[in-house]
Amino acid sequence: MAARADVLITAEALVNQLAAGEPVTVLDVRWTLSEPDGHEHYLHGHLPGAVYVSLDDDLTDHGVSGRGRHPLPSGSAVQEAARRWGIRSGVPVVVYDDWNRAGSARAWWVLTAAGVPDVRILDGGWSAWQAAGGAVEAGPVDPVPGDVTVCHEDLYAGALPTLTADELDRGPLLDARAPERFRGEVEPVDPVAGHIPGARNVPSTVLLAGDDTFVASAVVDELLSERGIDAAAPIGVYCGSGITAAVAVAALTAAGHEAALFPGSWSQWSSDPDRPVARGAQ
């Protein structure tokens, strides 16, 4: 079972690693739902040597139909992109973002599912790096091409567990969206409001502390217990389109729990008129 140090790295640890000249590939994955292209923010300031990664272009395959708004890319596409970013065999990878760990968690999940080893999320993201006094560079970075080889072509059956829409009744199910979306009071993106019947709401944002770092394992356990989720059983996780659900998967994994992603999430479920929809707090 993975531990916190297998999923996350602190800003202080990364500062020391870079200062010591230890090899590491750093990826900047800035993304928000309202501003999916974070390249301009990256150019204004980023970690030393960090390469910009587009969540929509590089970590999603919009050519896939029927699997939600952010379908997973193929392993071969991930390998091509990873080599372009300079990822090398035997060299650890650190991913970071500047908003709710959404971009970095997606990158962590996709790369790990493809079979890239030793990928970690910068705990606290860009703000933690600045608070730690880390150096900042501006402008583009042109990395030396990498040589990494991925092990899985189909990320829906890759190195990390996933669930299909027909497998969501196998165990506890966690909805990582905002409470008002879960209850079906608002739906700003998808055509149908509500949630998958039987799911419990644990917004991805409550898995982050006030300083934007991931909460402690004990807090994760308490959140699950409060919602009647059996922490000993494998937990299914979904959100709107599989992005912020990866934040919950990362938090659960760091806390020592087995978590499986439903990649298509609510955007896939709600697009099928034959799927039931629940509304309200339960």
Q: Which of the following is catalytic: 55, 78, 148, 239?
A: 239
d(CA 15, CA 10): 9
| Residue 119, φ and ψ in degrees, nearest 5 | -105, 130
Among this protein's residues, is 151 annotated catalytic?
no
Distances from the Cα of 30 to the Cα of 56, 90, 185, angstroms: 11, 25, 28
| Alpha-helical runs (H) found in 117-233 | 125-131, 179-183, 217-226
Cα of first residue to Cα of last residue in the chain, in angstroms, is: 30
Sheet bearing 119-122, strands edge to edge = 8-9, 119-122, 93-96, 25-28, 51-52
Strand partners, 52: 28
Residues 279, 31, 238, 202, CA torsion sign:
negative
Query: In this structure, are residues 276 and 213 in contact, taking their beta carbons and an 8 Å threshold?
Result: no
Strand partners, 137: 46
Q: If you compute the radius of gyration of the chain from its CA atoms, what whole number of angstroms results?
A: 18
* Lookup result for tokens 């030793």: 118
Query: In this structure, are residues 70 and 57 in contact, taking their beta carbons and an 8 Å threshold?
Result: no
Q: Which residues are catalytic?
A: 239
